[in-house]
Structure 1
Amino acid sequence: MTLSVSASMERWPVKGAFIISRGAKMHVDVIICHVGDGTHSGTGEATPIYYEGETAESCIADIETFARTHDHFDRQILLDEMQRGAARNALDCALWDLECQQQGQPLWRQAALPEPRPLTSAFTISLGDPAKMEADARAASGIHSMLKLKLSGSNDHERVAAVHRGAPDARLIVDANESWNDLDIAEEATLLAQWGVELIEQPVSAGRDDLLAHVRSPIPFCADESCHTAADVPRLAPYYQAVNIKLDKAGGLTEAILIADAADKAGLKLMVGCMLSTSLAIRPAFALAQRATWVDLDGPLLLAKDRPDAMRFAGGQVMLDHMPKN
């Protein structure tokens, strides 16, 4: 179909600072893409993957180039002919939204996903010294039942112990952010198990996943930076027990569903996560997250403000503002 396409950037300030092993972020630049057929209009949001060299400017240029060189396209053409990443995610999600408007259907039904229900979402505790992380965990503990800790590969067990002191009843998952290459991985995992950690994201660098071969861990490993598309899943299955699907990494909901199908086939569990983003980007991820064991869709909570038509976060859960009634 012939479509009109436009893309722009929005800057959203972070609440305080978002700190991981790669550095701190004070704001996030997101891409907004609009796709129209002359009657209906769809909108998608994506966050450039900075650690892969993407910028808002480069993503907008990629969207404009694709639109200029394709008079007619749909989601399959987009999947086949545009490189994965945030630009494709913005376009893909805008196309899904357009289809929903055209068909008068909610996204979950249009994408053949489960009917949405409220989901428990992790809340991120930024990387810091143990005392700061303990204080942050204590402040979050009355609101969030699951916490996700950012780790660095240095004294990680002290950070996890501190968070457990601050929030002894919270479920814990950790994100090592590729920092355990030179550590005794089994020993690190065993140390964290005593505090009930449920999942360890990306303990080693992407591309060095074979470091996990023969590691006996009491905690499952989840591929994040190593898993981008469905084609990655068979290669990762010997080393991981779960994959983290982020729409920006996958390049859209279309590819993300294919990853979920491939993970199911390989016997891997699913986590659905997000980059820093507003609720506009969370809506399609929330639809997919209905299939996940772990959900990490707290991106809007880490911003100083969200959009007026925001997702609803209450009692440690994320939900649509108006949930469907059976």
Structure 2
Amino acid sequence: MELKVDIVSFPLEKPFVITGHVFETTETVRVTLSHGGVSGRGEAVGVYYLDETAESMAAQLETVADALGDLDGAAIQALLPPGGARNALDCAWWDYRAKAEGRSVWALLGMTPKELTTVFTLGIAEPAVMAERAAAARRFPHLKLKLDADRPIERLEAVRAARREAALVIDVNQGWSFDELREYLPHCERLGIAMIEQPLARGADEALEGFRSPVPLGADESCLHLGEFDAAARRYDVLNIKLDKCGGLTEALALVEAAQDAGMALMVGNMTGTSLSMAPGYVIGQHCRFVDIDGPLLLAGDIEHGLDYRDGGRVGLPTPELWG
């Protein structure tokens, strides 16, 4: 099995602001696995709050290049820890396997796929600007709003006034304290917020155990992989699965099963990659109440054979030319 690793940069259409960070480009690692004239591809962006970079992921992948003998999903889990490098390798393996066997990933998994409806994400900006951007995104019935502790309810009020009909989820990216969460919750309930993602800091969310929130709370940074699932299940109502966090489609599917067994709702998220990053996430999205695969819409340009984003937030299935 031949491993090829490339670093590819994609500028964002406009700077994207979340709690504590401003992103202007997406740096991706692209893995190509080839054998016997068949190739499979995978892409990773990595986990910025764990200090993963394209360069660090590429270096991780190069260390296992000579160990790709009889490659399978279990072997990949043992080769690398959870994170972006394993994600790129694991997703390339799934694509390779589908093409080598002449069957779609849906056939491999025994699934009949349905088209998904994604949220469209708005970064933090002045309330009037967020309202203007929400109105301009009217073709998306589901919006995801990035917020921090600076005037969050003012921003929510402005967006709700601009989009009274929209389903809204908010993502705080660890930006609130527990006291702030309790202060803001009645307003979120009044404004019809469907879910609050990661309100508290990773590792500082014990206060959520036994706490009954009137608005479902979602774990993102607080649950990176299966090893952190049990604690998240005690504290949150929704699990946001990101392949860059857990290390690929193989572990993501295991997280789906664990969450379903625990009675948790599911969300699939992304780290703002191209359609090659979104395509494996499309598999996880089949199980999810909340779908966030809008990464390519935030880029200045997507890759060839990218996903088809249509009015109504509908996203066409990945084509074999893209992945799977």
Interval containing the TM-score (normalised by the shorter chain)? over 0.9
CA–CA distance in 2 between the matches of 1:52 and 1:321?
29
Q: Where in structure 2 are the equivalents of 1:29-178 lying within 5 Å?
A: 29-112=27-110, 114-141=111-138, 143-178=139-174
Which residue is equivalent to 1:12? 10
CA–CA distance in 2 between the matches of 1:100 and 1:9?
24
TM-score of the pair, normalised by structure 1: 0.94
Structure 1 contact 185–215 (Cα < 8 Å) conserved: no
Structure 1 contact 278–300 (Cα < 8 Å) conserved: yes
CA–CA distance in 2 between the matches of 1:294 and 1:71?
38
Deviation sequence 1:18-50 (CA, Å, 0-9, x none): 111122111111111011122311110110212
CA–CA distance in 2 between the matches of 1:117 and 1:312?
14
Cα gap change, 1:321/1:75 in structure 2, threshold over 3 Å: closer, same or farther? closer
CA–CA distance in 2 between the matches of 1:267 and 1:80?
28
Structure 1 contact 181–211 (Cα < 8 Å) conserved: no
Deviation sequence 1:104-147 (CA, Å, 0-9, x none): 111122133x3221111100011011111111111112x10000
Which residue is equivalent to 2:296? 300
Q: Where in structure 2 are the equivalents of 1:263-302 lying within 5 Å?
A: 263-302=259-298
1:179 to 166, 175, 179: 175
Structure 1 contact 107–284 (Cα < 8 Å) conserved: no
Unaligned 5+ runs, structure 1:
none
Which segment is superposed worse, 76-85 or 54-63?
A: 76-85
Which residue is equivalent to 1:230? 226
Please state how far the C-alpha of 1:183 moved relative to its aligned partner.
2.9
CA–CA distance in 1 between the matches of 2:234 and 2:317?
36
Which segment is superposed worse, 78-87 or 245-254?
A: 78-87
CA–CA distance in 2 between the matches of 1:73 and 1:118?
31
CA–CA distance in 2 between the matches of 1:228 and 1:51?
11
Structure 2 contact 279–318 (Cα < 8 Å) conserved: no
Cα gap change, 1:289/1:193 in structure 2, threshold over 3 Å: closer, same or farther? same
Q: Read off the aligned partner of 2:66 and give its amino acid letter.
A: R
Aligned residue for 1:238, secondary structure, equals helix
Structure 1 contact 164–195 (Cα < 8 Å) conserved: yes
CA–CA distance in 2 between the matches of 1:160 and 1:211?
25
**CA RMSD of the aligned region, Å?**
1.5
Q: Where in structure 2 are the equivalents of 1:235-274 lying within 5 Å?
A: 235-274=231-270
Q: Read off the aligned partner of 1:318 and give its amino acid letter.
A: V
CA–CA distance in 2 between the matches of 1:270 and 1:246?
11
Which segment is superposed worse, 94-103 or 182-191?
A: 182-191
Structure 2 contact 305–319 (Cα < 8 Å) conserved: no
Q: Read off the aligned partner of 1:137 and give its amino acid letter.
A: A
Unaligned 5+ runs, structure 2:
none
Which residue is equivalent to 1:28? 26
Q: Read off the aligned partner of 2:317 and give its amino acid letter.
A: L
Deviation sequence 1:73-111 (CA, Å, 0-9, x none): 322011123111111000000000010011111112213
Please state how far the C-alpha of 1:288 moved relative to its aligned partner.
1.4
Structure 2 contact 175–201 (Cα < 8 Å) conserved: yes
Structure 2 contact 5–58 (Cα < 8 Å) conserved: yes
Please state how far the C-alpha of 1:242 moved relative to its aligned partner.
0.9
Which segment is superposed worse, 94-103 or 63-72?
A: 63-72
Please state how far the C-alpha of 1:71 moved relative to its aligned partner.
4.0
CA–CA distance in 1 between the matches of 2:257 and 2:108?
17
Structure 1 contact 186–215 (Cα < 8 Å) conserved: no
How many pairs were matched up? 319
Identity across matched positions, percent = 37
Please state how far the C-alpha of 1:322 moved relative to its aligned partner.
5.9
Which segment is superposed worse, 27-36 or 206-215?
A: 206-215
Cα gap change, 1:11/1:37 in structure 2, threshold over 3 Å: closer, same or farther? same
Aligned residue for 1:313, secondary structure, equals coil
